[in-house]
């Protein structure tokens, strides 16, 4: 199938209501301390996997963890999945450091994400 390349699921974001407690639980689970630790995001890297904690994620429409595929061209991949029947939930936007993030839903309403690092 033609289209932009997909590098696989590398990032899973988890909505959390208590960031301090979640930080401790995930640090214990993963056996590492966070690489990124701020009031708006805590990120871990374990075994090549990125695990992010998003405080207030539920208020942003995250009702469960969201898997994010890393792609070379987020606009092209979003167009490709949309043409196949997905619906854009959150268009690509910069979250800092040149990282673009977008979300879409599959035909059953499952939320999936894309990440492009520039």
Q: What is the pLDDT of residue 23?
A: 96
Least confident of 2-11, 32-41, 71-80: 2-11
pLDDT tens, residue by residue, 48-71: 899 999 998 888 778 899 999 999
Under the banding of pLDDT at 50, 70 and 90, the label for residue 22 is very high
What mean pLDDT do residues 23-38 have?
95
Residue 3 has pLDDT above 80, yes or no: no
**Residue 57: predicted pLDDT:** 84
Sorted by sequence, the CB contacts under 8 Å of residue 26 that are 6+ apart come out as: 14, 34, 42, 44, 51, 53
N- to C-terminal Cα separation, the chain: 24
Query: Domain limits of the chain?
Result: 6-117
d(CA 88, CA 18): 29
Q: How far is CA 42 from CA 38, 81, 91, 98, in A?
A: 6, 29, 22, 18
Q: What is the pLDDT of residues 74-109, one digit of tens each?
A: 999 999 999 999 999 999 999 888 999 999 999 888
CATH of 6-117, one of 3.30.70.120, 3.90.850.10, 3.10.180.10, 3.20.20.70: 3.10.180.10
């Amino acid at each position: 199938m033609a289209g932009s390349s997909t590098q696989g699921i590398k990032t899973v974001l988890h909505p959390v209501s208590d960031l301090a407690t979640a930080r401790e639980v995930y640090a214990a689970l993963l056996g590492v301390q966070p690489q990124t630790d701020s009031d708006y995001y805590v990120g871990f890297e374990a075994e090549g996997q990125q695990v992010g904690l998003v405080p207030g994620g539920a208020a942003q429409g995250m009702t469960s963890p969201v898997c994010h595929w890393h792609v070379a061209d987020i606009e092209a991949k979003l167009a490709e999945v949309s043409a196949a029947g997905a619906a854009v939930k959150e268009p690509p936007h910069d979250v800092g450091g040149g990282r673009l993030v977008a979300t879409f839903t599959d035909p059953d309403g499952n939320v999936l994400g894309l990440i492009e690092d520039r």
